[in-house]
Amino acid sequence: MTASCLSIISSPPLSSANSAEALELLLVAAAFDVPTTLLFSGAGVLNLIPEQSADGLARKTPSKQLGALKLYGVESVYACKSSMQRYGVTDTVIDVLMADSEMLKTLISAQDMVFSHR
Protein backbone atom coordinates (compact mmCIF):
# COMPACT_ATOMS: atom_id res chain seq x y z
CA MET A 1 0.00 0.00 0.00
CA THR A 2 1.34 3.42 -0.97
CA ALA A 3 1.44 6.19 1.62
CA SER A 4 -0.85 9.15 1.02
CA CYS A 5 0.44 12.70 0.77
CA LEU A 6 -1.19 16.02 1.64
CA SER A 7 0.39 19.29 0.57
CA ILE A 8 -0.84 22.43 2.35
CA ILE A 9 -0.16 25.71 0.58
CA SER A 10 -0.56 28.78 2.79
CA SER A 11 1.74 31.23 1.01
CA PRO A 12 0.46 33.76 -1.53
CA PRO A 13 1.35 33.37 -5.20
CA LEU A 14 4.24 35.20 -6.83
CA SER A 15 5.67 36.66 -3.61
CA SER A 16 8.08 33.76 -3.31
CA ALA A 17 8.69 30.40 -4.95
CA ASN A 18 7.02 28.51 -2.07
CA SER A 19 3.67 27.91 -3.78
CA ALA A 20 5.25 26.86 -7.07
CA GLU A 21 7.65 24.50 -5.30
CA ALA A 22 4.80 22.99 -3.30
CA LEU A 23 2.86 22.29 -6.49
CA GLU A 24 5.95 20.76 -8.12
CA LEU A 25 6.45 18.46 -5.13
CA LEU A 26 2.84 17.35 -5.36
CA LEU A 27 3.07 16.71 -9.11
CA VAL A 28 6.22 14.62 -8.64
CA ALA A 29 4.51 12.53 -5.97
CA ALA A 30 1.46 12.07 -8.19
CA ALA A 31 3.68 11.04 -11.13
CA PHE A 32 4.88 8.14 -8.96
CA ASP A 33 1.28 7.11 -8.21
CA VAL A 34 1.31 8.41 -4.66
CA PRO A 35 -2.27 9.26 -3.62
CA THR A 36 -2.13 13.05 -3.31
CA THR A 37 -4.34 15.73 -1.86
CA LEU A 38 -3.88 19.48 -2.08
CA LEU A 39 -5.15 22.02 0.44
CA PHE A 40 -5.06 25.80 0.12
CA SER A 41 -5.32 27.73 3.37
CA GLY A 42 -4.58 31.24 4.62
CA ALA A 43 -3.08 33.48 1.93
CA GLY A 44 -2.54 30.33 -0.13
CA VAL A 45 -6.12 30.60 -1.40
CA LEU A 46 -4.95 33.58 -3.45
CA ASN A 47 -3.24 31.06 -5.75
CA LEU A 48 -6.70 30.05 -6.91
CA ILE A 49 -7.58 33.44 -8.41
CA PRO A 50 -7.77 33.20 -12.22
CA GLU A 51 -5.69 35.23 -14.68
CA GLN A 52 -2.69 36.02 -12.52
CA SER A 53 0.46 36.88 -14.40
CA ALA A 54 4.05 36.16 -13.49
CA ASP A 55 5.35 38.40 -16.29
CA GLY A 56 8.55 40.09 -15.23
CA LEU A 57 9.04 37.68 -12.35
CA ALA A 58 11.17 34.58 -12.40
CA ARG A 59 8.16 32.49 -11.36
CA LYS A 60 5.57 30.23 -12.91
CA THR A 61 2.00 31.42 -13.33
CA PRO A 62 -0.17 29.63 -10.73
CA SER A 63 -3.02 28.89 -13.14
CA LYS A 64 -0.70 26.98 -15.49
CA GLN A 65 0.60 24.77 -12.71
CA LEU A 66 -2.86 24.24 -11.27
CA GLY A 67 -4.11 23.25 -14.71
CA ALA A 68 -1.66 20.33 -14.69
CA LEU A 69 -3.12 18.75 -11.55
CA LYS A 70 -5.73 16.67 -13.40
CA LEU A 71 -3.14 15.51 -15.93
CA TYR A 72 -1.20 13.99 -13.03
CA GLY A 73 -4.27 12.48 -11.40
CA VAL A 74 -4.58 14.97 -8.54
CA GLU A 75 -8.31 15.21 -8.05
CA SER A 76 -8.60 15.94 -4.34
CA VAL A 77 -8.16 19.69 -4.08
CA TYR A 78 -9.53 21.57 -1.08
CA ALA A 79 -9.70 25.17 0.06
CA CYS A 80 -10.19 26.36 3.61
CA LYS A 81 -13.66 27.87 3.66
CA SER A 82 -12.83 30.58 6.21
CA SER A 83 -9.68 31.59 4.26
CA MET A 84 -11.70 31.90 1.06
CA GLN A 85 -14.13 34.18 2.88
CA ARG A 86 -11.38 36.20 4.60
CA TYR A 87 -9.58 36.90 1.32
CA GLY A 88 -12.77 37.36 -0.70
CA VAL A 89 -11.96 34.61 -3.20
CA THR A 90 -15.13 33.60 -5.00
CA ASP A 91 -13.92 32.62 -8.48
CA THR A 92 -11.27 29.92 -8.80
CA VAL A 93 -9.09 28.75 -11.67
CA ILE A 94 -9.82 25.09 -10.81
CA ASP A 95 -12.62 23.31 -8.98
CA VAL A 96 -12.02 22.99 -5.25
CA LEU A 97 -13.94 21.47 -2.40
CA MET A 98 -14.62 23.81 0.50
CA ALA A 99 -13.44 22.51 3.84
CA ASP A 100 -14.63 23.78 7.20
CA SER A 101 -12.54 23.35 10.35
CA GLU A 102 -13.88 19.87 11.14
CA MET A 103 -13.23 18.65 7.61
CA LEU A 104 -9.69 20.09 7.75
CA LYS A 105 -8.94 18.09 10.91
CA THR A 106 -10.27 14.90 9.33
CA LEU A 107 -8.41 15.52 6.08
CA ILE A 108 -5.06 16.13 7.78
CA SER A 109 -5.35 13.21 10.20
CA ALA A 110 -6.20 10.80 7.36
CA GLN A 111 -2.87 11.40 5.56
CA ASP A 112 0.37 9.46 6.00
CA MET A 113 2.54 12.46 5.03
CA VAL A 114 1.71 16.15 5.40
CA PHE A 115 3.84 18.90 3.87
CA SER A 116 3.13 22.48 4.89
CA HIS A 117 4.42 25.24 2.60
CA ARG A 118 4.38 28.73 4.10
Domains parsed from the chain with CATH numbers: 5-117 (3.40.1260.10)
Report pLDDT digits (tens) over 8-62. 999 988 766 788 888 888 999 999 999 999 999 999 999 999 877 655 555 567 7
Cβ–Cβ under 8 Å, residues 2 and 110: no
Q: Is 6 helix (H, G, I), strand (E, B) or coil?
A: strand
Task: Give the global pTM.
Answer: 0.90
